[in-house]
Chain A
Amino acid sequence: MHEYSIIAALVDKVEAIARERKAVAVRRLLVRIGELSGVEPELLATAYTTFRVQTICEDAEMTILPVAARWMCSGCRRGIQRGEILRCAACGAPGKLAEGDEIILERVEMEVA
């Protein structure tokens, strides 16, 4: 379950940001997780609950924004529906993932004294 190592990287990142801003506490995290990122939001939430103990994130709530996979033609940019063959029906060019592979820390809300 790689979600634990993702949370470890997330907490490290938040700690660095909190230090830089001289935060006294972190209250909320917002992360964006794509459907094709290989990260399962539910497992990520579980890993976070376990891992945040005794870190700067101990009292920070994490909100996960799921992002659906969206494919489009790499040539004419026409949309390709999910589950379809990933080649453009109109021009034959291969599909390209427009969004849905992100593993991103979007925002941190922290208390600054």
Chain B
Amino acid sequence: MCGTCGCGDPELVPVEVQERILSGNERTAKHNREHFEERGLLAINLMGSPGAGKTAVLEATARAARHRRFAAVAGDLETHRDAERLARAGIPSVPITTGQACHLDAELVHRALHDLPLADVDTLFIENVGNLVCPAVYDLGEAASVVALSVTEGEDKPLKYPVMFRKAELVLLTKIDLLPHLDVNMAALMDALERVMPEPQMILLSAKTGRGMAEWLAWLDQRRPANVRAACALEAGT
């Protein structure tokens, strides 16, 4: 290095990158999405707080629609309990234990897919790690994101966790069999959703009584054709 004029010094070069930091995850998510669409399979990313009733909703869904061919991957920090519960309910399931990670990513889901009989499946539920924050950041390749929000969580949850609700296409308001015991202000909840979701949709559901299940199954079916259309377009190379 030259002390006089700086010749031979390393040169400071600015590189304009302008790339999404999670582009690696997004590539894998796209790959997953192609897998799903090729098979005409509807993939749902089910998110929500721990204890919101995600697993119970899926158990009830299996009970209510025996003709459907469901499969699931279930993410938790520890234990295979949710996947075991789902398997008992008749949904072939693969557990993903994330250790310390607070969310699923596209790679974790992709690895789990290899252990599922996808050819025999029309709907794949990806039960995310119970958390209203981190899972919203990661695209998994799903056709739609659904948030389970239980009636005991409070009307203002959407305002407190806008990122997750913005990502969701549908909110499942769970445990509505508890409504007679609570003072839930439904108008306030809907108002909160309208301030974070551009097109809020909500289904009131009870996994216990089965109320709302028909509407939820209809929503899934109505979500399905678009997915199959996308698969056809993909095959046609358009």
Query: Which residues in B have their C-beta under 8 angstroms from that of A83?
Result: 195
Kindly state whether residue A97 has any CB partner on chain B within 8 Å.
yes
Kindly state whether residue B199 has any CB partner on chain A within 8 Å.
yes
Q: Are B12 and A6 in contact (CB under 8 A)?
A: no
The complex places the Cα of A80 from the Cα of B138 at a distance, in Å, of: 26
Q: Are A9 and B22 in contact (CB under 8 A)?
A: yes
Kindly state whether residue B2 has any CB partner on chain A within 8 Å.
no
Nearest CB on B from A39, distance (A)? 7
Kindly state whether residue B24 has any CB partner on chain A within 8 Å.
yes
Q: How many residues of B contact A (CB 8 A)?
A: 36
Kindly state whether residue A107 has any CB partner on chain B within 8 Å.
yes
Q: Are A105 and B195 in contact (CB under 8 A)?
A: no
Given A2-B137, A38-B137, A112-B10: A86 in contact with B18 (beta carbons within 8 A): no
Chain B interface helix/strand/loop/mixed: mixed
Q: Are A36 and B163 in contact (CB under 8 A)?
A: yes
Q: Are A103 and B134 in contact (CB under 8 A)?
A: no
Contact surface of A with B, Cβ cutoff 8 Å: 1-2, 5-6, 9-10, 12-13, 17, 21, 23-25, 27, 31, 36-39, 71, 74, 83-87, 94-97, 102-113
User: What are the nearest 9 A-B pairs in CB distance?
Assistant: A111-B10, A94-B198, A2-B134, A38-B137, A38-B163, A86-B198, A85-B194, A95-B198, A94-B199
Query: Which residues in A have their C-beta under 8 angstroms from that of B163?
Result: 36-38
